[in-house]
Homo-oligomer: A and B are copies of this chain.
């Protein structure tokens, strides 16, 4: 049996040195929701006037905290706001208990922090179908408000982990004529990862000033090619939530700023990659580039069919340049393809073209690429200009170890 407690071999050497974001403070607590001996609640307090945008799972069985967050957006920008997250229990499929637990936590945070309840956003992640012991969370809230500090983002990222093997953070600082603007965020997620949106929790903070509608549009657009372009196992969580909070504490307005849009995109993409690199059992990070499709949507269908194919993913685990399985995945995707116009590369090695193996193909060269940690599969469909890039990981024994005995 694989060592399922080991840190992913694809993990960064350490948590990044994230800049502080003016207007945001954090605190964490260990209340024993499920896990013992580790933090499992984090509270982020946001300055008065913070703008909040979000993207949430489209699952029809989504959890109570998700429904509550969705109902609260776009909301007003008046007064302070707060984000409370617990790990260990997803408060999903818990019947009427679900919203009771959300309300109890929201009310306690509102009372202790001085936020209006409509400005308190909560998330829960962990086991589905078990009643959340929200009293344990509520009992820690006064202390969490008292202990707020702007230096605790790494601790916050750690408190929201479930099967994650490392905490995930990313940041960008960009200069404007009026001074620097900072963006920093955290993510959790490791299994039950697939589009709509990748199963995870993501919180990104910036001291920029921006209108809610502009921020929401930007976040939704970026999501399509970042968190909705990754997959670990094709399974979609009931709790996926991405919240971006702009405190405005820098005093710098970024409405219409492409530098802000680009920096936010980079933070979102980096966090999305960090989630894939912590994919349950992952030993390889895989980028799948599809070009030449009849549309972007068609390219995405092909890319995700390849990224989700158990046969492609096990071949990658076995370091086997088995391009026949890529052909199979293209064929099964349901999207338009002409067998004889497809070209396939593993890394820089042209493997197949004109409906068959390339005359220049040398299997040892493709096999050498497959031995690396960063795998790149490129498919050109030769039809038109549609393109999409997806990211996934390999499918290994450790995925089975983790998931055949996660709950019991």
Contacts and interface: CB of A to CB of B under 8 A. Distances in A.
Contacts of A83: none
Contacts of A60: 330-331, 333, 336-339
A220 interface: no
26 contacts: A59-B331, A59-B332, A60-B339, A61-B328, A61-B337, A61-B342, A92-B327, A93-B324, A95-B354, A128-B325, A129-B324, A129-B327, A129-B352, A234-B234, A234-B309, A235-B310, A236-B328, A315-B403, A317-B404, A318-B406, A320-B404, A320-B406, A322-B406, A396-B404, A397-B397, A397-B400
A395 interface: yes
Given A331-B60, A337-B60, A352-B129, A405 B320 contact: yes
5 smallest beta-carbon distances between A and B, as pairs: A128-B324, A95-B356, A318-B404, A61-B331, A59-B331
A405 B318 contact: yes
Given A192-B328, A237-B328, 8 more contacts: A61-B327, A61-B342, A95-B356, A191-B311, A234-B234, A235-B329, A314-B400, A320-B404
Interface in A295-314: 308-311, 314
A90 to B, nearest CB: 8
A257 interface: no
A340 interface: yes
Contacts of A62: 331, 339
Contacts of A191: 311
Interface in A51-102: 57, 59-62, 90, 92-98
B95 A310 contact: no
A238 to B, nearest CB: 5
Contacts of A367: 408
A151 interface: no
Interface of A is mostly: loop
A336 B194 CA distance: 19
Interface string A256-278: 00000000000000000000000
B311 A352 contact: no
Given A59-B332, A60-B331, A405-B320, A339 B93 contact: yes
B310 A399 contact: yes
B236 A315 contact: no
Contacts of A12: none
A399 B314 contact: yes
A323 B328 CA distance: 32
Nearest to A405: B318
Interface string A120-141: 0000000111100000000000
A337 to B, nearest CB: 4
